[in-house]
Structure 1
Amino acid sequence: MTLSANDLADLERAVRLLTSPSLVARLSHQIGSPLESAVKKLPAGASARINAAVEVALRRAVDAALWSLDKTPRPASTRRHKLYAAASGAVGGAFGLTSLLVELPVSTTIMMRAVADVARGEGFDLDDPDTQAACVEVFAMGGPSDKDDGAETGYYMARGFATQAMGQLSRELADIAARQGAGHTAGLMTSTQAGKWLGRLIEKVAERFGVVITNKIAAQAVPIIGAATGATLNTLFTDFYQDMALGHFTVKRLENRYGAEVIRAEFEKQAARQWHRG
């Protein structure tokens, strides 16, 4: 099936967004030096605290953003979310690591609302568990990537988390149905699938998002520059995940129209073309 000229242009834009430099690379560029040394200077045990806080933040963000955002279709409002993120980052960055961890659920919720806003703008139903999972998937993007893997690998690898989570859960649900009888558990399985699938997906995504957040906290953990850096980096984060969301939901919209295999083949063709140009 051949894509229309408008849809092909949309896919080309999505490929540019989804294969752009990683968020970790952008963080290093923003502060003017690699972040490895800054990460090593974090207090002992900081990484464990950050990873635990990231998973909690994502869970709270889903509850506060996806289910509270107005479901009426409308164009995304990207600027408003960046302003909220900047304010949150300035407050959190002014007082060091402890305040950064306290601020993390707030900034993550703002970013999740920004992502959900894009999904809504692309015509997706925020009450649909698939859309909710797709919003969470966006936060698996942005970590360091190996350029030798090919331009398209990172995006489809991030999407693979949802497939893995669903595969594991499907086996569990099949066991439940076999033991209790599908006729008695059909309604239960539907709600269980939605809740457990999203919960498992959040666990997996938190591992990748935690790497990015650790680098962010390392960059803004110094109180002297923390406030200014916090506002700047939160704006950078929100801008990045809005771009990832726009690319992601454009691809999913086109998949619904043309089929996943058609769009992936065209995506890889466009990514390879951009890769060779760059």
Structure 2
Amino acid sequence: MDETRERPQVSREMVTIDNDHELMALARRHRRAGGVGLQVLNVIGSQAENLLERLPDRVKTRLESATLRALEAAMAAAQQSRGVVPDQRGWLNTALTTAMGAAGGAGGLPTALAELPVTTTVLLRAIQGVAWEHGYDPADPEIAKECLAVFGSAGPLEADDGVDMAFLSARITLTGATVHGIMARVAPRLATVLGQKLAAQTVPVLGAAAGAATNYAYTSYYQEMAAVHFGLKRLAERAGRPRDEVVADFRAALTRA
């Protein structure tokens, strides 16, 4: 009888230890994702805060609306492609966008702008693939919104350690929101991120290299952040706890990672 009563307690302890290990693993992924951007800055030889100044004023004023249109096109294209092209491994997504970045950067701003919606589509498709790996169907409207919410995370060129991680608690903010509403909310943040990318690709001589480097960073970053996002979602569901509590534990784990 005593042994029977003790087993649930041991089981709970084992689950807690397992959850702690998973939280630490996710925290390390988050740290690793943020480190890629700094490597890219070294490659292109610029400071992140100065990159946007490289863009012409006409491009900067239209960037947010262009990003919203790119997101809308990316959502449609990424969803339709799932029935034709299977999800690819992370390294293949990264290789594809890196090659596209090199091609887009080689022609300067015009080709970089033309490449923008294609890269956005591949990035979104990569995020959807991570959701699928964690057991979620990207065709589900709620999961589609969560995939878009990943774009609300700080970009890979964000140097501030106190990055806004509100996207991790997306379930709270996405309730009742439409897909288009989420696009409108993440477009300003993504516009800044993609603006940095476009600006990097206009660096004289280094256009192709900068395009490849930034696309490598962006694809690696968003795949890692998607893994953190959906990993925490799955962890909360498995533990039967509110996601905001699990995110709070994750924030604490970040200080130890």
Shorter-chain TM-score tier: 0.7 to 0.9
Counting only pairs closer than 5 Å after superposition, residues 9-28 of structure 1 correspond to structure 2 as 9-20=21-32, 21=34, 25-28=38-41
Q: What is aligned with 1:158?
A: 167
Residues 163 and 27 of structure 1, relative CA distance in 2, 3 Å threshold: farther
Cα distance in 2, alignment partners of residues 227 and 102 from structure 1: 14
Residues 163 and 237 of structure 1, relative CA distance in 2, 3 Å threshold: same
The amino acid across from 1:28 in the alignment is L
1:205 to 183, 186, 190: 186
1:268 to 227, 235, 251: 251
Residues 103 and 162 of structure 1, relative CA distance in 2, 3 Å threshold: farther
Q: Secondary structure at the match of 1:229?
A: helix
Cα distance in 2, alignment partners of residues 162 and 251 from structure 1: 11
Are 2:119 and 1:107 equivalent residues in the alignment?
A: yes
Which 5+ residue runs of structure 2 have no aligned equivalent? Answer: 1-11
TM-score by length of structure 2 reads: 0.82
The amino acid across from 1:237 in the alignment is Y
TM-score by length of structure 1 reads: 0.76
Give the C-alpha shift of residue 220 in structure 1.
1.0
Q: Conserved in 2, the CA contact under 8 Å of 1:82 and 1:235? A: yes
Are 2:222 and 1:241 equivalent residues in the alignment?
A: yes
The amino acid across from 2:212 in the alignment is A
Q: What is aligned with 2:147?
A: 135
Cα distance in 2, alignment partners of residues 9 and 93 from structure 1: 41
Q: Conserved in 2, the CA contact under 8 Å of 1:220 and 1:229? A: yes
Residues 207 and 161 of structure 1, relative CA distance in 2, 3 Å threshold: farther
Give the C-alpha shift of residue 29 in structure 1.
3.4
Q: Secondary structure at the match of 1:215?
A: helix
Q: What is aligned with 2:4?
A: none
Are 2:112 and 1:69 equivalent residues in the alignment?
A: no
State the identity %: 31
Give the C-alpha shift of residue 87 in structure 1.
1.9
Give the C-alpha shift of residue 154 in structure 1.
2.0
Cα distance in 1, alignment partners of residues 216 and 167 from structure 2: 23
Are 2:110 and 1:98 equivalent residues in the alignment?
A: yes
Give the C-alpha shift of residue 23 in structure 1.
6.7
Give the C-alpha shift of residue 35 in structure 1.
3.0
Q: What is aligned with 1:37?
A: 50
Give the C-alpha shift of residue 95 in structure 1.
1.2
Q: Secondary structure at the match of 1:235?
A: helix
- Cα deviation 1:124-178 (Å, max 9, x = unaligned): 112211211111111111333644x5xxx622x23466644546x5xxxxxxxxx
Cα distance in 2, alignment partners of residues 141 and 75 from structure 1: 22
* Equivalent pairs, count: 240
1:83 to 95, 99, 105: 95
Give the C-alpha shift of residue 10 in structure 1.
2.2
Q: Identify the range of structure 1 (250-259 vs 158-167) with the bigger mean alpha-carbon deviation.
A: 158-167
1:120 to 121, 124, 132: 132
Residues 240 and 164 of structure 1, relative CA distance in 2, 3 Å threshold: same
- Cα deviation 1:193-233 (Å, max 9, x = unaligned): xxxx1101011111111111111111111352211221222
